[in-house]
Amino acid sequence: MAYFDNISSPILLHQGTEDESVSLEWSECTVALLQQKEKDITFHVYEGEKHEFIDQWPLVMQRTVDFFDEHLK
């Protein structure tokens, strides 16, 4: 968080509600702090998904490709 002011590129964050490695609350807090600093953050939450995004993997990847297409092309 000490370096959030230095962020100049768009950020994409995927979060599963059942992630045992990274809590939903941590991601929500991170997103809120980035938004307060007016950073370009795209945040997707996947109900029931763990850290590996097994069931919704195709959607996660499609959103990732779309994000890269928008910001890197």
In the chain, the number of structural domains is: 1
**Does residue 14 contact residue 51 with C-beta atoms inside 8 Å?**
no
Q: Is residue 53 part of a domain?
A: no
Q: Is residue 69 part of a domain?
A: no
Q: Is residue 54 part of a domain?
A: no
Q: Is residue 31 part of a domain?
A: yes
Q: Is residue 33 part of a domain?
A: yes
Return phi, psi of residue 14, to 5°.
Answer: -105, 140
Confidence class for position 1, pLDDT limits 50, 70, 90: confident
Find the domain containing 27 and state its range.
11-39
Q: Is residue 34 part of a domain?
A: yes
Tell me what the mean pLDDT of segment 23-37 comes to: 97
Q: What is the pLDDT of residue 73?
A: 83
Q: What is the pLDDT of residue 6?
A: 96
Q: Is residue 29 part of a domain?
A: yes
